[in-house]
């Protein structure tokens, strides 16, 4: 599997994209070399920070990523797109090693914000002392599948001229479900769980209870914050409050910026109640929905302890702890 780290969105064919990405990396490394070597310089805590957003497809990930791109120059950090061959979310073992080495030792790219359709990777098993900060956003599983179904056929308003894989297929999602089509089968719901579960084979075993339990464990123990598409603004607000080094100004940008809701799937038709009910009979939906509800409950718990509502608006709480009775007393 080839992994390229793009500093900007796609612009041409895959080969030209790779050439452009390599050229951009060389330019940045040369510029840092001219400014003086950093290899032996210890970075302070904030400058050594790396965030990984292993984005799940069709969860408003482009809208959120655009905010990171818009803020990177002002807040002085790098944004890199992890582009895997055919968007394969599972890396080979050798690519895992390369990726971990890039993330941890590429000082010229720190502080860095990496994003891409890659499943969770446990950096600890590679002997890394300081792990990156993982964040993510998930979505109601049926809404995510419906959005992806129409995206493959009609694209979106982000790159409207790009020919999509299923272009020309006019069948609605309702018709697909009624006919038992493969693109709308319950198995296609199985995505958010394996993205959080990771690179173990069992993670990608559709309907695995172990995979769901592991995904829940990782969400709680390995992710700094996981938001939901339906409450994206609150997710951004919490990130700005907790990680201002990266997200200072993000909330205002989301509310007022032109790119906030940039990517909208074209020709999307909401499914009927009958279609939804049919999908909800599946054990796969029940597991994906259980994971979604678990993530939603956790996010709302974090939000409840971080904000207060006043006149319909949310406000971040000020610091609510302090230190006292400090001993021994200084002379």
pLDDT score for 30: 59
Indicate left, alpha or beta for 311 from its phi (over 0: left) and psi (-120 to 50: alpha). Answer: left
- The owner of tokens 């999307």 is 268
The neighbouring-strand residues paired with 133 are: 51
Helical pair 283-304 and 141-154, crossing angle rounded to 10 deg: 110
pLDDT score for 45: 85
Question: Which is nearest to 114 in space by CA: 88, 128, 135?
Answer: 135
Annotated active-site positions, please? Answer: 115, 117
Please name the helix (run of DSSP H) or strand (run of DSSP E) that holds residue 113, with its range, or none: strand 112-115
pLDDT score for 263: 54
pLDDT score for 12: 42
300 to 101, 147, 235, 243, 280: CA distances (angstroms): 35, 24, 10, 18, 24
Distance CA(161)–CA(113), nearest Å, equals: 28
CA dihedral angle for residue 288, residue 294, residue 297, residue 303, rounded to 10 degrees:
-90
pLDDT score for 20: 63
DSSP 225: E
Tokens of 126: 């590679």
pLDDT single digits (tens) 1-21 = 545 555 543 334 556 666 666
pLDDT score for 181: 94
Q: What is the pTM of this model?
A: 0.85
pLDDT score for 268: 77
Instruction: For CA atoms 9, 13, 14, 15, give the dihedral sign.
Output: negative
Domains delineated in the chain: 46-316 (3.40.50.300)
The neighbouring-strand residues paired with 50 are: 112
pLDDT below 70 — which residues of the chain? 1-42, 155-168, 258-267
pLDDT single digits (tens) 225-274 = 999 999 999 999 999 999 999 999 999 999 987 655 455 555 678 999 99
Which residue stretches of 109-224 are H helix?
Answer: 141-154, 173-179, 192-197, 209-221
């Amino acid at each position: 599997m080839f992994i390229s780290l793009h500093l900007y969105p796609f612009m041409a064919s895959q080969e030209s994209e790779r050439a452009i990405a390599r050229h951009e990396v060389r330019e940045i490394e040369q510029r840092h070399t001219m400014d003086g070597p950093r290899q032996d310089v210890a970075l302070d805590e904030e400058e050594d920070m790396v965030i990984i957003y292993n984005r799940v497809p069709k969860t408003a990930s482009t809208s959120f990523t655009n905010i990171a791109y818009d803020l990177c120059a002002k807040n002085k950090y790098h944004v890199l797109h992890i582009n895997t061959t055919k968007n394969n979310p599972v890396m080979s073992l050798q690519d895992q090693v390369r990726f971990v080495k890039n993330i941890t030792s590429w000082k010229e790219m720190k502080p860095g914000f990496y994003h891409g359709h890659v499943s969770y990777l446990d950096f600890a098993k590679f002997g890394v002392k300081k792990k990156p900060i993982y964040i993510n956003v998930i979505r109601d599983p049926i809404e995510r599948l419906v959005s992806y179904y129409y995206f493959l056929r009609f694209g979106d308003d982000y790159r409207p001229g790009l020919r999509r894989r299923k272009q020309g297929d006019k069948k609605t999602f309702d018709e697909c479900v009624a006919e038992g089509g493969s693109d709308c089968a319950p198995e296609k719901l199985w995505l958010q769980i394996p993205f959080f579960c990771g690179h173990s084979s069992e993670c990608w075993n559709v309907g695995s209870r172990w995979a769901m339990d592991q995904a829940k464990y990782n969400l709680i123990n390995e992710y700094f914050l996981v938001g939901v598409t339906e409450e994206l603004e609150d997710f951004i607000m919490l990130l700005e409050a907790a990680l201002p080094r990266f997200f200072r100004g993000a909330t205002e940008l989301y509310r007022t910026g032109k790119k906030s809701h940039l990517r909208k799937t074209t020709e999307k038709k909401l499914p009927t109640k009958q279609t939804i009910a049919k999908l909800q009979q599946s054990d796969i939906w029940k597991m994906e929905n259980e994971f979604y509800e678990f993530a939603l409950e956790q996010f709302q718990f974090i939000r409840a302890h971080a904000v207060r509502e006043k006149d319909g608006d949310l406000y971040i709480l000020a610091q609510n702890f302090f230190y006292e009775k400090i001993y021994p007393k200084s002379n």
